[in-house]
Structure 1
Amino acid sequence: MPAPSNGLKAAMQDGRPLIGLWLAMADAYAAEIAGRAGFDWLVIDGEHGPNDVRSIMRQLQVLEGLPVEVAVRAPIGETWVIKQLLDIGARTILVPMVDCAEQAEELVRATRYPPAGVRGVGAAIARASFFNTVPDYVPTANAEVCLLVQAESRAAMEDLERIAAVEGVDGVFIGPADLAADMGLLGQADAPEVRAMVEKAIRTIRAAGKAAGILTLDETVTRHYRDVGANLLAVGTDVTTFSAALRGLASSFTGRDGGGGSSSSY
């Protein structure tokens, strides 16, 4: 029996838009609700969500078998972190702050067993192999790992062609908020200069034959980037959706505005 197939990796290959949601509540109950909502894919956020290995694993467990694909965003692109996420059952890894092709190459190696990489072989005690009940997990796992890297700096934009060309990188996710900050436009992810750079990046990624991803919180902006060519479209987050719904409900009865707001791009 081989490693479980990666449906997200397979779906990305046909280039059609895939609609996703960011999970930052770090809560399995909320994750299961999202998993039954009809999205194509979800991201469990280990970078900005208050997650640890156990909370990520619990969310992977409740999402197992539901009609949705799941990616896990690592808090940082370190080999030991990626090893733990793969061993608890993540098949798609999203790594933030990837600035050059050499960094992307190291991340590919972190996700692969030798001789293609440096992933430690401990599948017999790991959830990834369902605790050694998938006998052919180790020799087949490399083919089912999906690696997405985030380009969210001026340095990444300058090296984007090389990053997208790295074998083993399945897609590149643009981070407009961090990109804007690096451009000296903190909090202005929708500034014309940022949008122009994002549009160029999407075209560069797709020209390399890779999936191009982005998260925005504005439907008009999302549809625009879809039309430009982005095909991994995260259209919201559980936190912002829940917060906005509660504020709206409270306001409808109290007349008070709970305040707050957010940038349209994450």
Structure 2
Amino acid sequence: MRRKLDGEGLSAVDFVFEASLFIILKLITLKPISLWAMGWKMPTPARLWQLAATCPDRAARRWRKRCETCRDRRGDGARHCWPGRTALRLPMARQAVSARDPDPLAAKAATMPVIQPRNHLKDKLARDEVVTSMAVRLVDKPAIAALAAAAGFDTIYVDLEHSPISLQSTSDICIAAMAVGVTPFVRVPSISSGLVSRVLDGGALGIVAPHVETAAAAQDVVELVKFPPQGRRSDGGAMPHFGYQNPAVAETHRLFNEATSVVIMIESAAALERLDEIAAVPGVDLLFIGSNDLCADFGVTGDFDHPRLREAFEHTIAACRRHGKHAGVGGLAGRHDLIADLVAKGARYVSVGSDLGFLAAEAKRLTDLVHGFGR
């Protein structure tokens, strides 16, 4: 190759220099060099022949070259005779491309450990420890879960019976709670398959069921919460409890049945009359006394020192002990003396209050304090 520079031919030294520079620049731009720079090792010639031999394209097997599928569909190349672009998705990972393991990304996902739901409340109750709960009625953002964890709560329940919080916000809160080690429950306004299954599929690890007055109603709650053979809940597919990577169906059902809690609220005299029957229902974990509603049903609204309410607390705790269940109390945020007495008698689940109540009480306290400075 010759060219004219000022009328003279290119010298041999200049030709060699420019040709070498051209070759070096060309090599730098080659795909194998770029892949190597990203941490991907180019297959050896022997490996490429082996890959070509496994290609479904007969012509490619015969001529030991990439088939049309691999050339036209680079993204699917790893399934045929050429690594293609699949290697670029995880450039620093060791890519194993063979006939037995055609998709390295699928193989990697298959070996990943399955995230399993963990009900910390159940663990603590099994050790006979006191657990604290907060009702969520105001804040409909996942941040409330982090605040609950920072405050030391063991569990929260999103109160759909007494708040306008949506199912989407409920799911977001439950997922966030699981991430920070707070067990998420949901109090549903009514017992129905459509509602119970949706909040559980969205991330809840338990249902707080209000207005239960018979053993049959308690059994219905258990069956809606649990998968077969313990219940009749329908399988909705991938769930956040498993990081959206459920194990086999039978294993999913077993793990979820073990992790979920059924909390039955005792809020009426009719429920107290059948307390032993309700506590004896298999799958019921906790009987939760709603103090305010129970007082209202007794006709002694707001009288937490009434003998009938005290008797109801003691009766519930005793029934739970007889049937191996746990007793819970709520609605007593301003009565620390009563909470201490009930815990001493055997109550292990205490609903301390709600986010709305905490905000209102603390805001009132601080404004009264500051106004007092000016008097």
Which of the five TM-score ranges fits, normalised by the shorter chain?
0.7 to 0.9
Moved more, 69-78 or 131-140: 131-140
Pair 2,161 (structure 1): closer, same or farther in 2 beyond 3 Å = farther
Q: What are the residue-to-residue correspondences of 1:111-260 with 2, within 5 Å? A: 111-124=225-238, 126-135=239-248, 136-215=251-330, 216-217=332-333, 218-255=335-372
Q: Is the 8 A contact 1:123 1:132 kept in 2?
A: no
Q: Is the 8 A contact 1:3 1:134 kept in 2?
A: no
Residue in structure 2 matched with residue 10 of structure 1 by the alignment:
123
Displacement of 1:230: 0.4
One-letter amino acid of the counterpart of residue 337, structure 2: T
Name the SS of the counterpart of 1:97 in structure 2. coil
Displacement of 1:198: 1.8
Which structure 1 segments of 5+ residues have no match? 257-266
Instruction: Give the % identical residues.
Output: 30
> Deviations 1:101-130 (Å, cap 9, x if unpaired)?
111111111112233322111123x43443
Pair 32,5 (structure 1): closer, same or farther in 2 beyond 3 Å = closer
Q: Is the 8 A contact 1:212 1:232 kept in 2?
A: yes
Residue in structure 1 matched with residue 166 of structure 2 by the alignment:
52
One-letter amino acid of the counterpart of residue 36, structure 1: A
Pair 137,149 (structure 1): closer, same or farther in 2 beyond 3 Å = same
* TM-score, scaled relative to structure 2: 0.64
1:82 aligns with 2:82: no
> Deviations 1:149-197 (Å, cap 9, x if unpaired)?
1111111100000100110001110111111111122333442321222
More helix by share: 2
* TM-score, scaled relative to structure 1: 0.88
Name the SS of the counterpart of 1:62 in structure 2. helix
Pair 119,32 (structure 1): closer, same or farther in 2 beyond 3 Å = same
Which structure 2 segments of 5+ residues have no match? 1-113
CA distance in 2, matches of 1:80, 1:198: 33
Q: Paired residues, what number?
A: 255
Residue in structure 2 matched with residue 24 of structure 1 by the alignment:
137
One-letter amino acid of the counterpart of residue 290, structure 2: G
One-letter amino acid of the counterpart of residue 254, structure 1: H
Displacement of 1:246: 0.7
Q: Is the 8 A contact 2:120 2:154 kept in 1?
A: no
CA distance in 2, matches of 1:189, 1:26: 28
One-letter amino acid of the counterpart of residue 140, structure 2: D
Larger RCO (alpha carbons 8 Å, 6+ apart): 1
Which structure's CA Rg is the greater one? Answer: 2
CA distance in 1, matches of 2:176, 2:116: 19
